[in-house]
Structure 1
Amino acid sequence: MIYYILPLAHKQATLEIVGGKGMSLSKLLTAGIPVPDGFHVTTVSYQIFVETNHIQPHINKLLDGIDSNNTSQLEDVSTQIGKLFHDGEMPQEVSAAIKTAYARLGNIAVAVRSSATAEDLPDASFAGQQETYLNIQGENEVLAAVKRCWASLWTARAIAYRVKNDIKQELVALAVVVQKLAFSDASGVMFTLNPINGRRSEIIINAAWGLGEAVVSSLVTPDTIVVDKNAERIVSYEVASKEIMTVRTLDGTKEIPVLERLRKKHALTRDQIMRLTQIGKKIEKYYQIPMDIEWALEKDKLYIVQARPITVLTPEWALPEKDVIYTKGSLAEHLPNPVTPLFATLGLEIINRASALLWVDMFDKCAKKLLPENGAYTIINGYVYLSAKSKPILIAVKSLSPRSLRRALTNSVARWEAARKEFEDVIKQWEEKPLHTLNAHQIMEGIQTVFYAACIYFTRIQLTLPAASISETLLTKLFQGAAHRAGIKDTSVFLLGFDTIAMQSEKNLWSLSEWVKLNNNLTLYLQNNQATKIVKDFKSSVVPDGVSQEVWIEWKNRINQYFKEFGRTAYEFDFAYSTPQETLTPTLESIKSFVEEKGESPFLRQATFEKRRKKAEEVILQQIGGTRKKLFLKLLHWAQETAPMRENAIYMMGMGHPIIRRMFQEISKRFQSGGAISHLDDIYWLTESELVELIAQLDKNIPLSDMRGAIPARKVELKKYQGYVPPFKLPEENKKTISHATQKSKDGKIVLTGIGTSIGIVTASACVLNSPADFESFQPGSVLVAVTTTPAWTPLFALASAIVTDIGGPLSHSSIVAREYGIPAVMATHTATRTIKNGQMITVDGSAGTVTTWSKV
């Protein structure tokens, strides 16, 4: 039997017939959940409409060879497909069935909702990709809305999603749900877990006045209610100023201002919250999974209009040990992403071994009381955290005698230079060894030796970096008033323009670009090709057309010489990530930008800052005298001596990573030949014990264990971790409320609040970079958005219009370099990399410390 329409609760209401949303509503009715009455327009009706009007062959032709990243092409094709649906005639049998079902509802105002056959599934959430039309009344209007829903299966976003996820376009179909429209006094969404901190024991409810579109579309900041699920107790009720609401009109809906007396009034009573909580618990129990639920309140009666599984479950940040504080500070700040299995085992063990020595050096007998059982660093949900027992912290701090503090703050530059020399000696020793002549165990010994040296170097600079931060802080705190009186707005001017390694690196690239300009053919080649193509040519043995072999060899030699001098660094401390020597795009993009005269000369910029610095010193010295003048000069000298050291010390943290990765690659080639792994980088997805076992097998010349089957699942798990937002500190200070990293303004734009660390305002396209693998996507003039940055990222700063990071502060690398480049910077937004999308227009206000989104992608 052919079903053109079905009642909402019907045994034939399967996913294939009524789609994800429709099937969900049928399930809810079966479970006794209050759902507004209505009916399904089945996928059979869609298929008959498409077949009768010969639409699918046109769609196939339009989609042939389409680029899922070409927005304008997608929009154009979507418009053409939409016209096919608009102009198509509704088959008589379908039209009659819809009219009859609508008449049974009483010809009332309805909501017409799309229900895709691949929507709202646990492993493929399409939520929000198709359309909903509210306050539709009259049979002709309902028929037209159904056609518009069908056409919304072919929005640019939906087409791109299916292309990227390899979903066959010709197999998709769309059902439609037609429901009585609840005349909502209030409405909103409910999560049966806390999506911020992952607690399964809490329900989060968002509530606002009117229809739910204002909440779902982020047009209004709703009330946020946290409920203890088990105790059915309201933990917190945060009342928002609800300035906009969606209401019915004669021909649809519109947004209107909320009456002043209602803006800060609770949208829900305690009784309504408790009833909504009970419904949420019932739905979650029925589905056996946390749920995302849309609800409406009409004359004190609650309705559920949609419920779908939460496809990305926020983790609970369970603490490995009691009475321990975990933070993303110190070395953890240089590990912003979830770490690979090899780093989590081998890397962390070496880090903790080196850190234990530092703690003994700093806290002497208190070190054992302070260190947790797992060591100074541990992993929670894939992320590295610095940890310390909370109760003995005060004891440990008191154990820092004036003598030990004085030791940490004096001779810091000399101590750093000694640590650097010791680290360099270890690296050179292993760089000189012919790796192919060593057995795997010997190479592994080299990896452990160099990485241990890197960790020891980091512990040494931990005792030198405080001098830089304290001297700058004291200079600013004690003389900011005098600086302002002298007309100096930002005291950082006293510390800019020095010749750090990062500055030397950029000047080297500038000089290289000046050499390029002397060669017309090479200049044209760089101007006419993307950086990704230049990288490919650089790695090839073939000389590009139009460039002489002599010039090309010289070009490659100069680039290689640059990396020999400045390539001993790392983008991230996890050795699984490529180094600048491997990820050439930022370096070549900088040269290309300089050649095209889009970037400023670092020589000129440095000279300008040096001039400003000296001028500022002259001006402020006229404002102060006597003992204050002596103190100022002493602090100024201290800060100016240690500030470059801070940047240089951090730049060299990853100095051993290039040789470490070469050694891993040598072992990996042997694993690959023996069938243990499929790709060279798969070695980082092994654990330490697996690596040691394979090395033993390799050196004994016995068959290698096949690890290829275990690796894909580990990659999937790490990808899951990448979607998490790691709290900066655990346990979270306030367990009763959820923290809002974002604020939604009255016009729907999202405002992130952080710390403004470099003044200025810029509006530009955002480029979110999670790792070096994303560098190729960076476009000059974009806002660089990252969890954090290291000195190795500096070439990108020359191309960026502003900097936004999840973590960091006024004295972080990102802040310092942004001020050097004169571009705005906002640090510590906590969620920028998760909230902002690539290509989204944003405004970065470095003075106010805010980042405002302007458009959706």
Structure 2
Amino acid sequence: MWPRHTDRAYPMASVIPLGRVSADAGALAGAKALNLAAMMRARLPVPDGFSVTAEAYRAHVSALRLGRPQRDCLAAIRELITASELATETAAEIRAAFRRLRTPLVAVRSSGTAEDLPGHSFAGLYDTYLRSTDADGCIGLVKQCWASLWTERAFDYRDKNGFEHAKAAMAVVVQQLVAADAAGVIFTADPVSGSANRIVIEACWGLGEALVSGKVTPDRLVIDRDTERVVERFVSTKSVETAFSPTGSPVEQTVPAARADKPSISDAIALKLARQALRAEKLFGSPQDIEWALAGPNLFLLQSRPITTLGKPPGRTVGAEAKSWEDRQVWSNTNSAEVLPGVLTPLVWSTVGEFIGDLLGSVIGRLGISFGDNPFIGEVAGRAYTNLNTFTGMVRRMPFASRMNQAQMFGGQNLKPEDRAKLELGADDLPDIKVSPLKTLLKLPGFLLWMSRHGPGRGREWIAASLDAYEKKPRPDLTRLSEQELSDKAIATLLQMRVGGEGLGYALGGMMFTSVLYDLCKRWFNDPTGINASRLLAGTGELRSAEAGIDLWRLGRLVADSPELRETVLPAGSWTDLRPRLEITEPGRDFLARWDRFLHLHGHHARGEMDMYNPRWREQPDYVLDVVRSFARAGDKADPEVDQRRHAEEREHLKVALMARLRNPVKRWVFDYVVRKAQLSASIRENVKDAAIRVFADTRALVVELGRRLAARGVFADADDIFFLRFPEIEPVVSETAGNDVRARVAERRAEHERNLALSPPAIIVGKYDPVKHKPDTVDASAELKGLAVSPGIVTGPARVILHAGTEQVVPGEILVAPFTDPGWTPYFIPAAGIVMDQGGLLSHGSIVAREYGIPAVVNVGPATKLIKTGQLIQVDGDTGRVRILK
């Protein structure tokens, strides 16, 4: 079961100096040692060391008589490997080789004999140890490396890729450890785009562990291979580094502020490193991924392996074959995570994809463009991700849209360089969006006419008519409907969305005017951050979700202004207990009338309200009551309606001042026209979405009642099990033709839902999502964060970090820090002094509401909720997009 091998150059060898590892010793010393030895022979700068061979490993485990390796006994295997004594002769050889290194500082790394085969990379699967030790300590570290061959992750990787566990073996490389001033990796070809002409360097201060572990965003340089010039340079704020403690163990420490923003390597060192790396590439005959370290003026190459994830550059293949179409798909949640946050249930998935596809298809179809079978939205670990291949292919074929700054409008502008590089899609990466240039040209006049009929004036009329129709629609008693009627009505309600193309047309028209306004301010008034455009759009009114916040504030003021209501409403207690007490007094009945009106108008809202799984406000009266109580206690918060009137005056004064700077009368007319249209459009996108949310809320009510009925007759274990069926699966369950596996199907999907909740996929993913390959986005701690300025003004105050709406309240004067916001978060905006969001763009809900309320806001910050803590004093600069952590 644990076979032994010999190598003809070193029969039964246990320890070999690196310089003596021959080119045919791969099965004995492993790929890492083989490559290091080759670089040493080529006189490349490699730290001295030795290989503890795979034969030593086999001899060690053979003596343990482990039997057939099984996943459930991996911990026991690791314990046996590390606890058992090494053979006397092997231990003596390691001690002698260790003494020849003449340093206690060593790097002990795996050198697996199956490592980095074509198309596979074992990088990061096995343990590495960097520390000061003695000879016996070195033996212990070697055994720890061997044991890492039997972690669950390594075991699963071999299973997934078809490697036999019984043949798995590991050599170990022990090298002199470089006490690096800076370190990183260099790729002799761009691993993302596949361009062989781009040499990519990533660097950080200290040892490379801070980079590998994701604790710091590295500096990034790109060198043109032909000209040997640095053509791209990104310098990050590197607030932490890994260095050696006085005891010789690696420790994470803060980088002094004077050094944090400086380049970790100079251009001269980068060019020197590139030349050394190209020598290694020539030596091995393929593009290489090389770890390096810089100590003083001296460069060292620590290991080299082929780039196993090399992409396909436009127009040609790299390596033996091109990446598959699936592997070249680029997925992003930079906007979809705001609209559809979190892990979605199967019921929601079965409606959202079709709903979004139908809406967009109805618009681009007017230009003779069709997605065909290409996906626009997809599921990644249960979350909604946009397919950027399809999106880019569509945008490049649509008039006007190709000129719009999508990142600024919707989010994604603050991406790291490595993520931005993933978005550089070549022509070969774009799907065959079905379009005939002649057909599009012929349809263009009709499309422009259709867009002209979807101006902001008509948009407001359409929204008002939709709201009026909703108000007049009869509300049936759901408890009186049969299961079949509930199912049919839910489907019929959702079908209303199929005619939602009109609403999307009004939303697109409004977005176009907003985009043009920001562009004009940038071009005509030297306003790169868009502060003037944001001020011109502040407090324009008629935003339904903002009205929900104001109506809640009014309920709070009603309580605050009435001694009787204060005495009744403010003490702790549930809505169920409170309502009967309100019904017996005149002030109480007045409050109830306004309360009921509020829930009628706004009760369809919820956190993550596009997800029907989430309960609506009307289902959670205790949450709404807590918000009303917090507003009643706030007392000193200014009336938001007064703020809106003040913003209206400021808008008009700013518009007059800006128009006075335009000497050309045509420009003045154009600017005045665009401002008026953009101000009329400011609320339309959100109000169109509000109309859609009403439909989703009505559908949820039907589904919840149906789930309750099916649970009552034993079909489901719980009423909300219905959300773990897809919509087409509900009808067979109702008609009792679904078979007997419904509960098992639901249980399996619930388990998958729970597994997905534990995952943290990054914002940008290339290919099929793999939790091992696609690590969560790294967070670089910094005292200053940069995002997108969306609502002007500068404010300083304590932070209130809230990850889930409904869990806590914002105290007046606090700055709300949230991952995203939708109308379910609106109550937090009234008392907030400022807004900071991880995600978002100029047209995101939080941005629009912040401008409506006149609150300074910065969005698209990235890791704000991970770096800022509740209670910290922060400054939000809504003019420049900076967020500073003061203390």
TM beyond 0.5: yes
Matching of residue 221 in structure 1 with residue 221 in structure 2:
no
Matching of residue 666 in structure 1 with residue 705 in structure 2:
yes
Counterpart position of 1:452: 495
Secondary structure of the structure 2 residue equivalent to 1:577: coil
Pick from 442, 449, 452 the counterpart of residue 409 of structure 1.
452
Percent identity, please: 19
For the aligned residue pairs, the C-alpha RMSD in angstroms reads 6.4
Matching of residue 577 in structure 1 with residue 618 in structure 2:
no
* Aligned equivalents of 2:354, 2:264: Cα separation in 1: 59
> CA 1:394–1:799 in structure 2 vs 1: closer, same or farther (change >3 Å)?
farther
Q: Which amino acid aligns with 1:562?
A: F
* Aligned equivalents of 2:206, 2:480: Cα separation in 1: 74
> CA 1:180–1:347 in structure 2 vs 1: closer, same or farther (change >3 Å)?
closer
* Aligned equivalents of 2:748, 2:186: Cα separation in 1: 34
> CA 1:249–1:617 in structure 2 vs 1: closer, same or farther (change >3 Å)?
closer
Shift of 1:792: 4.2
Q: Which deviates further from its counterpart, 637-646 or 557-566?
A: 637-646
Q: Which amino acid aligns with 2:384?
A: Y
Counterpart position of 1:373: 373
* Aligned equivalents of 2:878, 2:551: Cα separation in 1: 29
Q: Which amino acid aligns with 1:759?
A: P
Segments of 5+ residues of structure 1 without an aligned counterpart are 1-27, 40-100, 114-126, 147-178, 227-233, 282-291, 305-316, 529-533, 732-737
* Aligned equivalents of 1:669, 1:704: Cα separation in 2: 15
Shift of 1:301: 6.8
For 1:558-577, list aligned pairs within 5 A. 558-569=594-605, 571-577=608-614
Matching of residue 497 in structure 1 with residue 539 in structure 2:
yes
Query: Do the aligned partners of 1:220 and 1:242 also contact (CA within 8 Å) in 2?
Result: yes
Segments of 5+ residues of structure 2 without an aligned counterpart are 1-26, 37-48, 53-93, 109-123, 142-173, 304-322, 395-431, 769-773
Pick from 639, 642, 660 the counterpart of residue 681 of structure 2.
642
Between the two proteins, the alignment pairs up a number of residues equal to 676
> CA 1:672–1:567 in structure 2 vs 1: closer, same or farther (change >3 Å)?
same
Query: Do the aligned partners of 1:240 and 1:264 also contact (CA within 8 Å) in 2?
Result: no
Matching of residue 756 in structure 1 with residue 789 in structure 2:
yes
Counterpart position of 1:122: none
**TM-score in terms of structure 1 length:** 0.61
Query: Do the aligned partners of 1:675 and 1:704 also contact (CA within 8 Å) in 2?
Result: no
Query: Do the aligned partners of 2:292 and 2:300 also contact (CA within 8 Å) in 1?
Result: no
Pick from 241, 262, 269 the counterpart of residue 265 of structure 1.
269
Counterpart position of 1:383: 384
**TM-score in terms of structure 2 length:** 0.59
For 1:442-841, list aligned pairs within 5 A. 442-457=485-500, 459-474=501-516, 490-500=532-542, 501-520=544-563, 523=566, 537-541=573-577, 550=585, 558-569=594-605, 571-582=608-619, 585=623, 588-589=626-627, 592-597=630-635, 599-617=637-655, 619=657, 631=670, 633-697=672-736, 706-719=744-757, 723-726=761-764, 749=782, 753-762=786-795, 773-777=804-808, 779-780=810-811, 783-785=815-817, 788-805=820-837, 807-829=839-861, 831-832=862-863, 836=867, 839=870
Query: Do the aligned partners of 1:763 and 1:844 also contact (CA within 8 Å) in 2?
Result: yes
For 1:215-254, list aligned pairs within 5 A. 215=211, 218=215, 221-223=218-220
Query: Do the aligned partners of 1:568 and 1:658 also contact (CA within 8 Å) in 2?
Result: yes
Q: Which amino acid aligns with 1:421?
A: A
Counterpart position of 2:465: 421
1:649-677 alpha-carbon deviations (Å, 9 max, x no partner): 33333122322111111111123224443
Q: Which amino acid aligns with 1:184?
A: A
> CA 1:703–1:843 in structure 2 vs 1: closer, same or farther (change >3 Å)?
same
Query: Do the aligned partners of 2:540 and 2:852 also contact (CA within 8 Å) in 1?
Result: no
Secondary structure of the structure 1 residue equivalent to 2:648: helix
> CA 1:494–1:460 in structure 2 vs 1: closer, same or farther (change >3 Å)?
same
Shift of 1:516: 0.9
> CA 1:277–1:491 in structure 2 vs 1: closer, same or farther (change >3 Å)?
same
* Aligned equivalents of 1:750, 1:604: Cα separation in 2: 35
> CA 1:563–1:572 in structure 2 vs 1: closer, same or farther (change >3 Å)?
same
Query: Do the aligned partners of 1:521 and 1:547 also contact (CA within 8 Å) in 2?
Result: no
Query: Do the aligned partners of 2:331 and 2:764 also contact (CA within 8 Å) in 1?
Result: no
* Aligned equivalents of 1:456, 1:443: Cα separation in 2: 21
Q: Which amino acid aligns with 1:372?
A: G
Shift of 1:399: 4.5
Pick from 177, 183, 198 the counterpart of residue 178 of structure 2.
183
Query: Do the aligned partners of 1:750 and 1:853 also contact (CA within 8 Å) in 2?
Result: yes
Shift of 1:477: 5.1
> CA 1:277–1:212 in structure 2 vs 1: closer, same or farther (change >3 Å)?
farther
> CA 1:549–1:757 in structure 2 vs 1: closer, same or farther (change >3 Å)?
same
* Aligned equivalents of 1:372, 1:188: Cα separation in 2: 47
Q: Which amino acid aligns with 1:802?
A: G
Matching of residue 345 in structure 1 with residue 379 in structure 2:
no
> CA 1:390–1:489 in structure 2 vs 1: closer, same or farther (change >3 Å)?
same
Shift of 1:809: 3.1
Shift of 1:396: 6.7
* Aligned equivalents of 1:239, 1:510: Cα separation in 2: 49
* Aligned equivalents of 1:181, 1:701: Cα separation in 2: 66
1:706-731 alpha-carbon deviations (Å, 9 max, x no partner): 5443133321353266533246x999
* Aligned equivalents of 1:242, 1:464: Cα separation in 2: 41
Query: Do the aligned partners of 2:791 and 2:856 also contact (CA within 8 Å) in 1?
Result: yes
Q: Which amino acid aligns with 2:807?
A: E
Query: Do the aligned partners of 2:538 and 2:853 also contact (CA within 8 Å) in 1?
Result: no
> CA 1:425–1:445 in structure 2 vs 1: closer, same or farther (change >3 Å)?
farther
* Aligned equivalents of 2:175, 2:557: Cα separation in 1: 70
Shift of 1:818: 1.8
Shift of 1:613: 2.9
Secondary structure of the structure 2 residue equivalent to 1:756: strand
* Aligned equivalents of 1:327, 1:210: Cα separation in 2: 32
1:602-651 alpha-carbon deviations (Å, 9 max, x no partner): 12111211222343455556666866665555444434433344443333
Q: Which amino acid aligns with 1:383?
A: A
Shift of 1:839: 4.4
* Aligned equivalents of 2:265, 2:182: Cα separation in 1: 18
Secondary structure of the structure 2 residue equivalent to 1:710: helix
> CA 1:274–1:427 in structure 2 vs 1: closer, same or farther (change >3 Å)?
farther
Shift of 1:38: 13
* Aligned equivalents of 2:436, 2:624: Cα separation in 1: 42
For 1:265-284, list aligned pairs within 5 A. 265-266=269-270, 268-269=273-274
Pick from 849, 852, 855 the counterpart of residue 881 of structure 2.
849
Q: Which amino acid aligns with 1:642?
A: S
> CA 1:655–1:724 in structure 2 vs 1: closer, same or farther (change >3 Å)?
same
* Aligned equivalents of 1:742, 1:331: Cα separation in 2: 20
1:797-825 alpha-carbon deviations (Å, 9 max, x no partner): 22444334455433443323222333333
* Aligned equivalents of 1:335, 1:839: Cα separation in 2: 25
* Aligned equivalents of 1:447, 1:221: Cα separation in 2: 51
Query: Do the aligned partners of 2:291 and 2:301 also contact (CA within 8 Å) in 1?
Result: no
Pick from 479, 499, 505 the counterpart of residue 436 of structure 1.
479
> CA 1:617–1:357 in structure 2 vs 1: closer, same or farther (change >3 Å)?
closer
1:823-842 alpha-carbon deviations (Å, 9 max, x no partner): 3333445x447865764956
Work out which structure has the larger RCO, using CA pairs closer than 8 Å and 6 or more positions apart in sequence.
2
* Aligned equivalents of 1:301, 1:475: Cα separation in 2: 53
1:727-746 alpha-carbon deviations (Å, 9 max, x no partner): 6x999xxxxxx9999896xx
1:51-101 alpha-carbon deviations (Å, 9 max, x no partner): xxxxxxxxxxxxxxxxxxxxxxxxxxxxxxxxxxxxxxxxxxxxxxxxxx9
Shift of 1:752: 5.3
* Aligned equivalents of 1:318, 1:839: Cα separation in 2: 46
